[in-house]
Structure 1
């Protein structure tokens, strides 16, 4: 019989363990504001770019136009995002945050900051800086561009 490596011998195992814990706790926190992590990510990107066509959001988030449309529809239904038709092309439209959606961004950002502090506050400043640097290098070298939403 061939020897098989153990689960805990894999870096991916440890990354997934931490990622799941961080993500699940953050999802719980933002659900109290009636948004999902995907909706928060969409809103946060829109906050800096609005008004923005869905195609640009899809490109920025590394998602399909269909996925962006679904997220946009959910946020429009919640009154957090509004759709504006183009004067030049009635088939084209842009998305922007409503005043309620815009006001939610600092609240949600604070939840993200607190979630990070809770999980990574056990690290020294040097350890945290090193972890961030290594993760950013991995993302860059693997050409990972999609916004993590799950």
Structure 2
């Protein structure tokens, strides 16, 4: 059915502009962490584990808003890179927890600096008040929409 209603242009949508900025920020950061041998998803995993010290994969999956299968794949990759270790549960041989190795613990601060630098590249040109206002607006949308998943890519 044809209609005579005008069709909106891509650039009239705020979502379009959010994606333009988000994609640029994400792709730039992905290049930076790739040079350190990890993906953005692996960085998020390592950063979450850094705060937790040791955590069950199921709890990490819940905290990150990911499936257990996705956490399993990420943990396998990070285990192969010697960035995490698996610790058996002495009470239940089927259960284990995940923890950073010394190499993983040393990598997280370097990756965090890259995240800070990436943020600065995109947002330091904004006046401080505008940056705070943008942060408040985005956090308000997250809260209103009850968004919980951690962006990993």
> The TM-score by the shorter chain falls in which range?
over 0.9
Q: Render the CA deviation track for 1:11-31: whole Å, top value 9, x for unaligned.
A: 000000000000000000000
In structure 2, the residue matched to 1:56 is 59
In structure 2, the residue corresponding to 1:92 is in which secondary structure? strand
If you compute each CA radius of gyration, which structure gives the higher value, 1 or 2? 2
Q: Distance in 2 between matches of 1:19 and 1:111?
A: 16
- 1:40 aligned to 2:6? no
In structure 2, the residue corresponding to 1:91 is in which secondary structure? strand
- 1:130 aligned to 2:136? no
Give 1:2 shift: 2.3
Unaligned runs of 5+ in 2: none
Q: Distance in 1 between matches of 2:62 and 2:9?
A: 38
In structure 2, the residue corresponding to 1:83 is in which secondary structure? strand
Counterpart mapping for 1:101-112 below 5 A: 101-112=104-115
**Match 1:7 to one of 3, 7, 10:** 10
| TM value normalised by structure 1 | 0.98
| More strand as a share of residues | 2
- 1:147 aligned to 2:150? yes
Give 1:140 shift: 1.2
- 1:67 aligned to 2:70? yes
Q: Which runs of 4+ in 1 moved over 6 A?
A: none
Q: Distance in 2 between matches of 1:54 and 1:103?
A: 21
Q: Please provide the CA RMSD for this pair.
A: 0.6
Q: Render the CA deviation track for 1:67-112: whole Å, top value 9, x for unaligned.
A: 1111111000000010011000000000000000000011000000
Q: Distance in 1 between matches of 2:73 and 2:11?
A: 37
Tell me the number of residue pairs that the alignment of Structure 1 and Structure 2 aligns.
Answer: 150
In structure 2, the residue corresponding to 1:24 is in which secondary structure? helix
